[in-house]
């Protein structure tokens, strides 16, 4: 018998906690927030129905504390927990702890998480299930690694079995580089993931990262919800994602989808999950890993399918059957997402934490902003510096690109540095506009995409704030009160003045 949740604890922070709470509210379910000491005034705390402190700023003492999170859910009388992404979302022990406390985990079963959690174990599982994997090898010593790589053929990738978030991946071009790369990869893996297991994969050259969303209920019904192309990456971490993939035919997507469903069935999967693949230029594709959680870039899938993936996760956790079959699903138009980060492109994209002085997010047709910030809030140095995910939908990719440019031009953040101007440059690049890119695109075009206008910070901020406010105040701030008459006596608007003078090229 399906149950109905009355109150759900969201075991996360930032934009994803806010996003989950929005759906809960639409479903008439109360939401409970948890927060660390530095998140007392965070947006997710403000939009929840209630909020509980769970400890100091360091995630290891708050958001990652299984005992505290579960105790809070019990104390608050929650029926279920949604983990978001990151933090405890892929922690099978957390799922077990929820279950033991009589609280439903809104996600996959712990067993599927255990099967897919380690990349090496997942590769084996998937190979057995008939899913194509990247050629690779497990090795214990440098000599074994060299022998295996000679067989596989250079370049190869050294990857941390427990890795994630683009960390713990290292390219090795020749046998002479292996010894030092192997040792460093192992010690990094130990440091970041507490597990020094490193394995070898053939490096696929100029691939696209194309992933398949899957969705399944507890009765074993499983569908795929098409693909997302996440090839715009910096240091193996996604920056822009879109669907449909400009590189994959509908037939190819159907085939990848079928294989993803087969892989999901092999581990008894239910809830939302993602099969990540590398798509080689020759059309061959290889399983990379499965993310057993809601994906950061899920909004683009929602925009082209009309599904609310968080709602589906909640219904599935309540024990309901999927309300549709594979043949009921279709996509419409094109959607693109930009990750807007508090980081400074001029200093190698180092995080740029601090107080957001003013914040104006774009609106209008086809725009969705999944944000976790507000004017006056502080982007903390303790967590991921994601400010928001800006997504657009349009009937065609061409129009989606134009729409994203318009959206970016309306987006104003002052007080801290952001990667907004970087996105603007990217969306003007002819190869990106044409959909011609692979996972190495950002690295190859780094310099072009970094060309910045040098505007003094005070000036830029003044103008940026002004553009966001009423015309009179704008004129005062720009000092452009009278000198704004354009052609045929038309007034040059503050928006045009600001953009022409390049003052908003942050
Ligand atoms: P997605 O795979 O959904 O596109 P990312 O790879 O950007 O998302 O990861 C989402 C978030 O989860 C990031 O904040 C990242 O740092 C974190 N994350 C993902 N995998 C791991 C992991 N294995 N260990 C620690 N953090 C992780
Ligand atoms: P993470 O858990 O950090 O997300 P993934 O295995 O999903 O790690 O890989 C992240 C990214 O690293 C991929 O999208 C791709 O750009 C690059 N990558 C990983 N493995 C390979 C490979 N064998 N060949 C080429 N690129 C790879
Ligand atoms: Mg990945």
If pLDDT is split at 50, 70 and 90, which confidence band does 451 have? low
Integer CA distances (angstroms), 58 to 64, 87, 156, 168, in order = 9, 12, 35, 22
Taking CA atoms only, the protein residue closest to ligand 2 atom 23 is 203
- Taking Cα atoms as reference points, which of 370, 366, 367 lies closest to residue 340? 370
Ligand 3 center to 11 CA (angstroms):
21
Taking CA atoms only, the protein residue closest to ligand 1 atom 20 is 164
Delimiting residues of CATH 3.30.1490.20 domain(s) in the chain: 135-202
- Taking Cα atoms as reference points, which of 463, 499, 452 lies closest to residue 358? 463
Predicted confidence (pLDDT) at residue 473 exceeds the cutoff of 70? no
* pLDDT tens per residue across span 41-64: 999 999 999 999 999 999 999 999
If pLDDT is split at 50, 70 and 90, which confidence band does 1 have? confident
As a whole number, mean pLDDT of residues 382-396 equals 98
Structure tokens belonging to residue 445: 């075009």
Least confident of 136-140, 148-152, 410-414: 410-414
CB of residue 118 inside a 6 A radius of ligand 2: no
Delimiting residues of CATH 3.40.50.20 domain(s) in the chain: 7-106
Cα angle: 441, vertex 344, 36; to 5 degrees: 110
Per CATH, is 7-106 categorized as 3.10.180.10?
no
As a whole number, mean pLDDT of residues 437-452 equals 86
Ligand 1 center to 89 CA (angstroms):
10
Select which of 13, 228, 293, 506 is catalytic. Answer: 293
Predicted confidence (pLDDT) at residue 463 exceeds the cutoff of 90? no
111: phi > 0 → left, psi -120 to 50 → alpha, else beta; which? alpha
* pLDDT tens per residue across span 90-128: 999 999 999 999 999 999 999 999 999 999 999 999 999
What's the confidence (pLDDT) of residue 2?
Answer: 83
Taking CA atoms only, the protein residue closest to ligand 2 atom 21 is 203
* Ligand 2 mutation pick, 166, 292, 441, max ligand atoms within 8 A of CB: 166
Whether the Cβ atoms of residue 83 and residue 94 lie closer than 8 Å to each other: yes
If pLDDT is split at 50, 70 and 90, which confidence band does 200 have? very high
Ligand 1 center to 85 CA (angstroms):
7
Predicted confidence (pLDDT) at residue 456 exceeds the cutoff of 60? no
* Ligand 1 mutation pick, 87, 91, 118, 165, max ligand atoms within 8 A of CB: 165
Structure tokens belonging to residue 335: 């959607």
What's the confidence (pLDDT) of residue 442?
Answer: 95
What's the confidence (pLDDT) of residue 448?
Answer: 78
CB of residue 288 inside a 6 A radius of ligand 2: yes
CB of residue 337 inside a 6 A radius of ligand 2: no
Tell which wins on pLDDT, 370 or 452: 370
Task: Tell me the ligand closest to 152's alpha carbon.
Answer: 2
What's the confidence (pLDDT) of residue 470?
Answer: 38
Instruction: Measure the CA–CA gap between 38 and 501, rounded to whole angstroms.
Output: 38
Query: For the sheet containing 367-371, what is the strand order?
Result: 285-291, 271-279, 208-216, 222-234, 237-243, 334-341, 386-394, 367-371
- Taking Cα atoms as reference points, which of 231, 237, 235, 239 lies closest to residue 211? 231
* pLDDT tens per residue across span 310-325: 999 999 999 999 999 9
**Catalytic residue at 293?**
yes
Neighbours of 1 (CB within 10 A): 4
- Taking Cα atoms as reference points, which of 136, 109, 344 lies closest to residue 218? 109
* pLDDT tens per residue across span 214-247: 999 999 999 999 999 999 999 999 999 999 999 9
- Taking Cα atoms as reference points, which of 407, 450, 396, 409 lies closest to residue 426? 450
What's the confidence (pLDDT) of residue 129?
Answer: 97
At residue 109, the 3 state secondary structure works out as coil
Burial label for 387, CB within 10 Å (0-12, 13-18, 19+), is buried
Ligand 2 center to 470 CA (angstroms):
46
Structure tokens belonging to residue 454: 């040098």
* pLDDT tens per residue across span 369-379: 999 999 999 99
Whether the Cβ atoms of residue 105 and residue 266 lie closer than 8 Å to each other: no
Task: Tell me the ligand closest to 288's alpha carbon.
Answer: 2
Ligand 3 center to 347 CA (angstroms):
25
Taking CA atoms only, the protein residue closest to ligand 1 atom 5 is 165
Residues with C-beta atoms within 5 A of ion ligand 3: 276
Structure tokens belonging to residue 206: 């100029």
* Ligand 1 mutation pick, 116, 228, 296, max ligand atoms within 8 A of CB: 296
As a whole number, mean pLDDT of residues 423-439 equals 96
* pLDDT tens per residue across span 243-286: 999 999 999 999 999 999 999 999 999 999 999 999 999 999 99
If pLDDT is split at 50, 70 and 90, which confidence band does 348 have? confident
CB of residue 233 inside a 6 A radius of ligand 2: yes
Whether the Cβ atoms of residue 467 and residue 412 lie closer than 8 Å to each other: yes
> What is the CATH number that goes with domain 208-450?
3.30.470.20
Whether the Cβ atoms of residue 110 and residue 34 lie closer than 8 Å to each other: no
Q: Look at domain 135-202 and name its CATH class.
A: alpha beta
User: Omega into 155 within 30° of 0, i.e. cis?
Assistant: yes
Average pLDDT, the chain: 91
Delimiting residues of CATH 3.30.470.20 domain(s) in the chain: 208-450
């Amino acid at each position: 018998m399906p149950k109905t949740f009355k109150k759900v604890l969201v075991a996360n922070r930032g934009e994803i906690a806010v996003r989950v709470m929005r759906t809960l509210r639409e479903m008439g379910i109360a939401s409970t927030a948890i927060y660390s000491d530095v998140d007392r005034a965070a947006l997710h705390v403000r939009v929840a129905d209630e909020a509980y402190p769970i400890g100091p700023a360091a995630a290891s003492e708050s958001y990652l504390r299984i005992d505290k999170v579960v105790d809070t859910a019990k104390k608050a009388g929650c029926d279920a927990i949604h983990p978001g992404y990151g933090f405890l979302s892929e922690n099978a022990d957390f799922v077990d702890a929820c279950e033991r406390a009589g609280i439903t985990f809104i996600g996959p079963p712990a067993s599927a998480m255990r099967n897919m959690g380690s990349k090496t174990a997942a590769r084996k599982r998937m190979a057995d299930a008939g899913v194509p994997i990247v050629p690779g090898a497990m090795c214990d010593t440098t000599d074994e690694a060299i022998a295996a790589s000679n067989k596989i053929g250079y370049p190869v990738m050294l990857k941390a079995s427990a890795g994630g978030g683009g960390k713990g991946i290292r390219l090795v071009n020749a046998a002479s580089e292996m010894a030092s790369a192997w040792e460093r990869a192992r010690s990094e893996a130990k440091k970041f993931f507490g597990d020094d297991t490193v394995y070898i994969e053939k490096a696929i050259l100029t691939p696209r990262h194309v992933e398949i969303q899957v969705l399944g209920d507890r009765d074993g019904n499983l569908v795929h919800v098409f693909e997302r192309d996440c090839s715009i990456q910096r240091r193996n971490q996604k920056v822009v994602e879109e669907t449909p993939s400009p590189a994959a035919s509908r037939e190819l997507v159907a085939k990848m989808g079928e294989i993803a469903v087969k892989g999901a069935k092999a581990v008894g999967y239910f809830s939302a999950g993602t099969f990540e693949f590398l798509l080689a230029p020759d059309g061959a594709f290889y399983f990379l890993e499965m993310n057993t959680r809601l994906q950061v870039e899920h909004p683009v899938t929602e925009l082209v399918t009309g599904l609310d993936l968080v709602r589906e996760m909640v219904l599935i956790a309540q024990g309901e059957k999927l309300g549709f079959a594979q043949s009921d699903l279709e996509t419409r138009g094109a959607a693109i997402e930009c990750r807007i980060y508090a980081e400074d492109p001029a200093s190698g994209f180092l995080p740029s934490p601090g107080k957001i002085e003013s914040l104006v997010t774009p609106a209008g047709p086809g725009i969705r902003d999944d944000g976790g910030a507000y004017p006056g809030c502080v982007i903390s140095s303790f967590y991921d510096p994601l400010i928001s995910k800006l997504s657009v939908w349009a009937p065609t990719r061409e129009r989606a690109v134009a729409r994203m440019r318009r959206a970016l031009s309306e987006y104003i953040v002052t007080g801290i540095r952001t990667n907004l101007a970087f996105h603007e440059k990217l969306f003007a690049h002819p190869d990106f506009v044409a959909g011609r890119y692979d996972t190495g695109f950002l690295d190859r075009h780094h310099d072009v995409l970094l060309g910045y206008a040098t505007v003094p910070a005070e000036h830029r901020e003044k103008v940026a704030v002004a553009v966001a406010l009423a015309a009179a105040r704008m004129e005062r701030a720009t000092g452009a009160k009278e000198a704004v008459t354009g052609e045929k006596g038309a007034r040059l608007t503050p928006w045009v003045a600001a953009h022409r003078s390049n003052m908003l090229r942050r």
